[in-house]
Amino acid sequence: MSLPPPREVAIQVTGLNHFFGKGDAQKQALHANDLTVHRGEIVIMTGPSGSGKTTLLTLIGALRSVQSGSIKLAGTELAGLNPVQQVEMRRNLGFIFQAHNLLDGLTARQNVRMAIELTATPRADYDRVADAMLASVGLADRASYKPRNLSGGQRQRVAIARALVNKPRLILADEPTAALDKDSGANVVHLLRELANHHGTTVMIVTHDSRIISVADRIVNMIDGHIVSDVRIKETMVICAILKKCPVFKEMSPSDLTDIAQKMTEEHFAPGETIIRTGDIGDKFYVIARGSTDITVESAGATRAVAKLGEGDFFGEVALLRDQPRNATVTTREPVVVYSLSKENFLAAVKTHKSFEDQMSTMLFTRA
Ligand SMILES: Nc1ncnc2c1ncn2[C@@H]1O[C@H](COP(=O)(O)OP(=O)(O)OP(=O)(O)O)[C@@H](O)[C@H]1O
Ligand SMILES: [Mg+2]
């Protein structure tokens, strides 16, 4: 049970607002949103109709101009780009939107070919690459059909093939599996996961389809133009599993644990660094996600090693619960990743679960 190493940032949204209409009729669709997505992550966006999901997705895709705030794609700022620069930006992206935008006069193969023609692929390979992509979405026998002779779900799969064929570094999808049956939907999800794993493709999907949740790394929930939660699925599971071992948290429900996990901050330490020091005021509780640490205490002017804590262990709760200075020093033996919870959030969690106070007093004797 270990965490992946830190990855480069693919999408950085900061203080993003968006307005539709002018004057009295002006309506704010997005309110001060922040979002960080790493390379190779699959992020699902959910939320009620009208909550701003498509608006956010089209802004990230440079299909609309940023009015207020910032969006950076792999470090490049979208705010202030002119229309020509926006078109250039979009060439690196794959879009799967509700309106498929397939060209009616062209066959499925030709629609996919159009995307390949924008790249350095040799002309002689166009058809082979297009057919292979169509086959991977289950349309090997429909390559020469025009959109009007395909079902809604088949058209959607052509649009998906076209979006994925160039292995773009970022794929933006709005309800990509809505019109698909179980098998086709699962197939598309599998393709997206493969691109993310093998090519570092970043994927943002608006969906209510629970089948997709199983392949996602994170779920972002929007309500009324606000991102109200941003859950890192795997990390949250790792943190919850560690918290469950901690007497303070072990009786909590999965949803309470998830709330706590979401309030925790990832921190990285180099070998030999001190995370907490004897005598300091305790301000955080820690769980170790990766690496190991030495615990030392000072007595009679000498430093004595008392324990080694590693992956899945926790520390720092005693000073918070007793409101006393740290009674031990924690130093890393190797690169260490911890998740920390502020004293305020830690005490709030303990307080809402009154019964834990009893367990804690027992624990404090065993971990003094
Ligand atoms: N072009 C537009 N002009 C004016 N208002 C718009 C425009 N596009 C969206 N809105 C408004 O902005 C808000 C967010 O719309 P958006 O399309 O982003 O919602 P959504 O979360 O994608 O909803 P759905 O799940 O129904 O697709 C809505 O209140 C909508 O009415
Ligand atoms: Mg929408």
Q: What is the DSSP string of 318-358?
A: HHHHHT-B-SSEEEESS-EEEEEEEHHHHHHHHHHSTHHHH
Q: Chain-wide mean pLDDT for the chain?
A: 89
State how far the Cα of 310 lies from the Cα of 102, in Å rounded to an integer.
54
pLDDT at 357 over 70: no
> Which of 13-27, 63-77, 176-190 shows the lowest mean pLDDT across its residues?
176-190
Distance 50 CA to ligand 2 centre (A): 7
pLDDT at 62 over 50: yes
- At 190, the amino acid letter reads H
State how far the Cα of 269 lies from the Cα of 339, in Å rounded to an integer.
11
pLDDT at residue 355, rounded to an integer? 59
CATH numbers and ranges of domains, the chain: 9-232 (3.40.50.300), 234-366 (2.60.120.10)
pLDDT at 214 over 90: no
* CA distance to 50, 89, 94, 98, per residue, from 54 (Å): 9, 18, 15, 10
Q: Write out pLDDT tens, residues 193-204.
A: 888 988 899 999
pLDDT at residue 279, rounded to an integer? 94
State how far the Cα of 102 lies from the Cα of 147, in Å rounded to an integer.
7
For residue 238, how far is the Cα from the chain centroid? 15
pLDDT at 1 over 60: no
pLDDT at residue 7, rounded to an integer? 73
- At 206, the amino acid letter reads V
State how far the Cα of 39 lies from the Cα of 212, in Å rounded to an integer.
18
pLDDT at 366 over 70: no
Is 20 a pocket residue for ligand 1 (Cβ < 6 Å)? yes
Instruction: Report the nearest atom of ligand 1 relative to the CA of 55.
Output: 18
Is 50 a pocket residue for ligand 1 (Cβ < 6 Å)? yes
> Which of 93-97, 270-274, 354-358, 364-368 shows the lowest mean pLDDT across its residues?
364-368
Tell me the average pLDDT across 122-131.
Answer: 95
Nearest residue (CA) to ligand 1, atom 5? 20
Could you identify the residue written with the tokens 């693919």?
10
State how far the Cα of 265 lies from the Cα of 348, in Å rounded to an integer.
16
Give, for ligand 1, the residue of 18, 45, 53, 67 to mutate: max count of ligand atoms closer than 8 Å to Cβ.
Answer: 53
Nearest residue (CA) to ligand 1, atom 19? 50
CA nearest 100: which of 59, 147, 165?
Answer: 147
- At 368, the amino acid letter reads A
State how far the Cα of 258 lies from the Cα of 3, in Å rounded to an integer.
17
pLDDT at residue 180, rounded to an integer? 84
pLDDT at 139 over 80: yes
pLDDT at 360 over 60: no
Could you identify the residue written with the tokens 């690169």?
335
Distance 53 CA to ligand 1 centre (A): 8
CA nearest 112: which of 94, 137, 132, 130?
Answer: 130
State how far the Cα of 185 lies from the Cα of 164, in Å rounded to an integer.
15
State how far the Cα of 83 lies from the Cα of 67, in Å rounded to an integer.
14
Q: The tokens of 72 are what? A: 């950076």
The residue that leads in pLDDT, 364 or 19, is 19
pLDDT at residue 135, rounded to an integer? 94
Q: Write out pLDDT tens, residues 238-296.
A: 888 888 888 778 888 877 888 888 889 889 999 999 999 999 999 999 999 999 999 99
Instruction: Report the nearest atom of ligand 1 relative to the CA of 58.
Output: 18
State how far the Cα of 46 lies from the Cα of 223, in Å rounded to an integer.
9
pLDDT at residue 325, rounded to an integer? 93
Q: Write out pLDDT tens, residues 91-104.
A: 889 999 866 789 99
Give, for ligand 1, the residue of 30, 49, 54 to mutate: max count of ligand atoms closer than 8 Å to Cβ.
Answer: 54
Could you identify the residue written with the tokens 């007093």?
361
The residue that leads in pLDDT, 69 or 349, is 69
Q: What is the 3-state secondary structure (H, E, C) of 314-329?
A: EECHHHHHHCCECCCE
Nearest residue (CA) to ligand 1, atom 4? 20
pLDDT at residue 177, rounded to an integer? 85
Is 53 a pocket residue for ligand 1 (Cβ < 6 Å)? yes
Give, for ligand 1, the residue of 30, 51, 220 to mutate: max count of ligand atoms closer than 8 Å to Cβ.
Answer: 51
Q: Write out pLDDT tens, residues 18-49.
A: 999 999 999 999 999 999 999 999 999 999 99
Q: Write out pLDDT tens, residues 335-352.
A: 999 999 999 999 988 887
Tell me the average pLDDT across 298-326.
Answer: 90
State how far the Cα of 160 lies from the Cα of 71, in Å rounded to an integer.
25
pLDDT at 359 over 70: no
pLDDT at residue 368, rounded to an integer? 39
